[in-house]
Structure formats: C-alpha cells, structure tokens
Amino acid sequence: MTTYYAARLRPGKLWDPDKPVREQALWDEHARFMDSLFDSGVIILAGPFADRTGSMVIVTAENAEQVYEMFRSDPWTEHDILVVADVKEWIIFLDARERK
C-alpha cells in the first residue's frame, strides 16, 4: 500500500506577496526541482493556493521526515522563499484515479 503525505508550504521571509507564484525569485530553479520530483513519481499533486498564502503538495514517502528532507534541497526552501509548514500522513479512502 502506498503511503501519501500532504505537505503544506508557507511563504518564507523572501516571499513577495505582491507577485504571482511564477514571478517569485528563483522560480525556474524551484520549478526544475519540483518537476524532477514529479517525473520520478514522488509528487502526486502540487500547486499554490489561489489566495497566494502557500501551496499544497501530495507526495509518496516512507515517513514525514523523508518529506521534510526532500524539500531541504528545494531552492525556495534554501532561500526562505517557500518552506514546509507541516507534513501529515494522508489516508485516502476514495480515489477517482482508480476508476476504469
């Protein structure tokens, strides 16, 4: 059984609330980092909240610490632009992706 985690990311000190997500500093580097996790199957869903207060990322991992560890090398985490606020194991009861 796959274990999923929901990571809520919050703006850091260098987040500019007046700019959209894709205009934040180091966007290209962050996007490459996230794309690599997505391409490897670690990220299932990811995206910003519409009100620009952060993002939600759903990942597969062994435990919550592994999720925190994977984001430590995100350029946005390294530069305090967007950082992991919390991580919770997510038990999925209903999943439309399994429908045929």
What confidence tens digit (pLDDT) does each residue in 90-99 have?
Answer: 998 888 877 7
Q: Kindly state the average pLDDT of the residues 26-52.
A: 96
Structure tokens at 58: 């759903």
Residue 39: how many other CB atoms lie within 10 Å: 9
Q: Kindly state the average pLDDT of the residues 3-30.
A: 96
Query: What's the confidence (pLDDT) of residue 99?
Result: 74
What is the distance between the alpha carbons of residues 25 and 96, in angstroms, rounded to a whole number? 36
- pLDDT for 43-92, tens place per residue? 999 999 998 899 999 999 999 999 999 999 999 999 999 999 999 999 98
Could you tell me if 82 and 19 are in contact, meaning their C-beta atoms sit under 8 angstroms apart?
Answer: no
Query: What's the confidence (pLDDT) of residue 85?
Result: 98
